[in-house]
Amino acid sequence: MGIIIASRKSKLAQIQTDLVMRMIYEKNELKCEKLLMSTKGDRILDVSLDKIGGKGVFIKEIEVAMLEGRAEAAVHSMKDVPYEMPEGFEIVSMPIREDVRDVYVSMNGTTIENLPRGARIGTSSKRRSTQIMNLRPDAVMVPIRGNVQTRVEKIETENLDGIILAAAGLKRCGMECIITEYLNVDEFVPAIGQGALGIEALKTSKYIHILKSIEHHETRICVDAERSFMRRLNGGCHSPIGAYARLQNDDIYIVGVFELNGKFIKKDILGSVYDYIELGKLLGEKIINS
């Protein structure tokens, strides 16, 4: 009997879970099974996330399944995971991160800079819409939710000039060919944990050592630094927030954005990689004190 891993039903969630299952098999020669689940975040698509409970709407039911013994672990997109974990749970492992960048997918191959005035761009992310409006104040932001395929279809059905998505999701779905433009991470800061997967389990799980076997050390350090920044600012879906950390030899560089008192503030910080949690916190302080 292998490990039962809970997954949301969307194509991308299943691809990500299959990826983790394959890694576990390659490392441990242990087969896994999927338990497919529908979460509140999947069922309610006509309301923005901050109105229905924030990031946790994608994982609460899955945690109940683990508590009830129906699953031993779950695979999440780290950008969907709140910074406060429920008691008894932990993100046991983070495999190697995919491309962290946001991308623009256009109806006709036109880049953001060359869009006509008043162009209609689809996204339900406050972080993305705020940064797009900094680049193109004349653009009209149109809220869209749903899985990757649904959002791409909405370019036509909602008469949009284009949409903003995560590169990681498109690459994992084999849809990289539709990307019009990759957005520079220092100018268009990604979501916290974007491109990274997290394997959640109960701290008492007998499979902890197996789940930890596919951990990628650099990914863990960078994502935990970004989450330290989010924790300091108490950030979720209610305020535009983003951060991206990357290692530079023995240092770590973190850039972060946050909306504070109606102002969208960007700051960065560089320091020893050994202080990665503290640096995330200090970056939050820099924004608070700016």
Out of 42, 50, 80, 99, which one is annotated catalytic? 80
Task: Residue 55: name the closest of 258, 234, 245, 284 by CA.
Answer: 234
CA distance 13 to 16: 5
Strand, coil or helix: 8: strand
Is the separation of the CB atoms in 11 and 32 below 8 Å? no
3 Cβ contact partners less than 8 Å away, ≥ 6 residues apart: 24, 30, 32, 33, 72, 73, 207, 210, 211
**80 noted as active-site residue:** yes
- Residue 201 tokens read as 């389990």
- Cβ neighbours, 10 Å, residue 267: 20
Query: Rounded to the nearest 5°, which phi and psi values hold at 271?
Result: -170, -175
DSSP 8-state class, residue 120:
E
* Active site amino acids: 80
